[in-house]
Amino acid sequence: MVMEGYSVVSEAVVQRVFWVDWFHHTPHINLTLHPVNDTFSPLSPIYQESLGIIGSVPAGVLILTLLVLLLYLLTRCCDNKPRKPGSITCLKVMLVLFAVFTLGALGVSVWGNEEVHEGVTRSVLSLNNINSMVHSLSNQTKLFDETIRRNLQPQLNLFKETIQRESIKNATVEMFIIESLHYMQGNISEVLLINVEDINAMMSGAEMGGMVRLLGVGELARWVATLGITGILMMIVLVVMIGVARHSRCTLITFSVLGLLAMILCWGLTSVYLVASVALSDWCMDPNPFLEDQLSKLVSRDVAAYYLRCDPTRPSPFTRYLTHAQQAANLVLASLNKVTRIADIYYERKEIHPRLDHLGAFVNQSQRSLGGVAALLECQSLHHHYRTALTATCQQAMSGVVYLLLSAAGSGLLFTILVWITSHTWIYLNHKRGSSRSSSSQPSGKNIQAVRVWLNTPPSHPAAIVAEPGTSEERDPFLPGRGSRGGTLTSLGAPGYSRPRHSHTPPQTPPFPGTLNGRVYHSDGMGSMGGGSGSAPTTVSTMGRGDNHHNHHHHTHSHSHSLGPNHGQYATLSKQCKTLESSDFY
């Protein structure tokens, strides 16, 4: 009989959480997809197979996730499309947001871990109480045995010796007393002791002290390990937050690796917790059959069923032994009372009464010990602790396992998203920095425009004159090393060539009269090549040269009249042309 939220275990009502019913209805199928029995039977290969199929669902999700992530990374490796500058901010916000969500999901695991720990601790405490009751029963039977063997039987022998020493004239009375003593000894040794020893033997295998201690140590280790794993996962989440804060590509790559491992761990834990939830719910629906099978290896099946079910309609398996022992104790007490009455009549009171008083005291003590054994054998007390353990397991511990399952599944999904976004982000950061370096190595727009105008216009065109606006300094275009178009191209970074700052440029073609390096020059700013005096060349200053270049211009200009129209050098550039250097581009 099953009620909503409750399970009937014999006449006792055990409360259970609704998760038990929910997970118990999870389909149990085998490899051929046929339904199997959902009764908790962990030693059955068919049941193990069904649990394995259930646990493989998160593993399949993990494999599918890894494949999708692999395909995404492969596509990202081939993607060189530039990104908008604003997209990195969106990625940062998403990373921080999902990192906070992941920390919240991991926090749920801390809560679930505490719930499981408290539930299992309560169960272990109840099992300790059961084990203490079994241990007390064993001690009580041992005490009863010692009382009989060390006290009652020796006192009977002493009383028998006293009767034989103190002879009386009535031989019939003496014979009756001696026969009564033999009868008492027979009841004590053959009935009372044997039945109590049988009871002790029936319960001797029920001591579970070692198993309970192992369960407690295992739970403590599980609790600590879960906290440690949760702490490590939280630190991994902090890595991505640090990477976002520092805009560190290396940190984000590190998280991509650690996050991938964390994702695998979370999905693996999801499989474990899912199997544990289904198996625990199956057990909580009807825990008695499995426990009876296991306890039957320690005690008889009747004893296991008696304590697990505590059915008042079923007789106790100890009833026969207790009845025989109590009958034997009553017979011993009755015989002792009869012997006492006869001895008081025929024997001196001071000779026999001390022995009789000791016998009466030990018989009464034996009866009390037997009553204590009978009370400990009752199922109500032990079954109460069993019901407490069931409630703690099927309510609190079950809820904790479900919380751990939800936390592991949620964390696995969130770690998957974090790894995906992080992989996208650090690849983007790589493109971003490359673009910055490329931009920094390019010349400014002003110089690029000047170079394009100078390269595409004839020297005589006014556009060939490149000057920086806003400057007042002058610069001689015919200074050594600054007059050729080849020198200008070298300054733009022609590969494999580096020219000194003031070196002369070799001529490309021999100079001819009226030409500059093979070009006819028609500028108004220069006279004919026949040696006529022309007007002074118009000079354009380059920033950063100062008066030294101005003085050098006058010196060179005065020297040019004595060297001819070309100043003793090959004319390679038109006047008033600025030579672009590498420093102009950076």
- Over residues 4-23, the pLDDT tens digits come to 444 444 444 567 788 898 99
What would the mean pLDDT of 184-189 be, rounded to a whole number?
82
Nearest C-alpha neighbor of 156 from the set 325, 355, 338: 355
DSSP 452-498: HHHHTS-TTSGGG----TT------TTSTTSS-HHHHHHHTT-TT--
The pLDDT of residue 500: 45
- Buried-state track 348-369, b at ≥16 Cβ within 10 A, e below 16: eeeebeebbebbbebbebbbeb
- Sorting pLDDT into bands at 50, 70 and 90, what band is 518? very low
Q: What is the pLDDT of residue 7?
A: 46
Q: Is 424 exposed, middle or buried (0-12, 13-18, 19+ CB in 10 A)?
A: buried
The phi, psi pair for 501, rounded to 5°, reads: -65, -40
Q: For residue 3, what are the β-bridge partners?
A: 6
Three-state secondary structure call for residue 12? strand
Digit-coded pLDDT (tens) for 151-161 = 777 888 888 88
- Backbone phi, psi, residue 480, to 5°: -60, 135
Q: How far apart are CA 458 and CA 450, in angstroms?
A: 14
pLDDT in tens, 377-391: 888 989 999 999 999
- Report strand pairing: 515-516 vs 12-15: unpaired
- The answer on pLDDT for 70 being more than 70 is yes
The whole-angstrom separation of Cα 86 and Cα 348 is 117
pLDDT of residue 468 exceeding 60:
no
CA 419 to chain centre: 16
Instruction: Reduce the DSSP state of residue 502 to 3 states and report it.
Output: coil
Q: What is the pLDDT of residue 87?
A: 60
- Report which of residues 339 and 493 the model is more confident about: 339
Residue 38, pLDDT score: 87
Q: Which residue has the tokens 């006014």?
A: 462
Average pLDDT of the chain, as a whole number: 75
Q: Which residue has the higher pLDDT, 60 or 581?
A: 60
Q: What is the pLDDT of residue 227?
A: 96
For residue 558 the two structure tokens come to 């005065």
What pLDDT does residue 74 have? 80
For 229-276, write each residue's pLDDT tens digit. 999 999 999 999 998 888 888 888 899 899 999 999 999 999 999 999
Q: Treating both helix axes as pointing N-terminal to C-terminal, what angle do 349-376 and 193-204 enclose, rounded to 10 degrees?
A: 30
Q: Contact at 8 Å (CB) between 355 and 393?
A: no
Please say if the pLDDT value at position 457 is more than 60. no
Count the neighbouring beta carbons within 10 Å of the beta carbon of residue 465: 21
What backbone torsions phi and psi does residue 9 show, to the nearest 5 degrees? -110, 100
> Which pLDDT tens digit goes with each residue over 108-128?
999 999 999 999 999 999 999
Dihedral sign computed on CA atoms, order 561, 564, 570, 574: positive
Least confident residue range of 177-181, 342-346, 488-492, 499-503: 488-492
Q: List the 12-15 sheet strands across, edge first.
A: 2-3, 6-9, 12-15
Instruction: Assess whether pLDDT exceeds 60 at residue 514.
Output: no
What's the pLDDT tens digit per position in 354-407?
888 888 888 888 888 888 888 888 889 899 999 999 999 999 999 999 999 999
Continuous segment of H or E residues that includes residue 14: strand 12-15
Over range 25-33, report the average pLDDT: 89
DSSP code at position 372 = H
21-25, 60-64, 313-317, 574-578: least confident range: 574-578
Instruction: State the Cα–Cα distance between residues 139 and 200, nearest whole angstrom.
Output: 9
Residue type, 401: V
534 has a pLDDT exceeding 80: no
- What type of residue is 503? S
Model confidence at 413: pLDDT above 50: yes
pLDDT of residue 512: 45
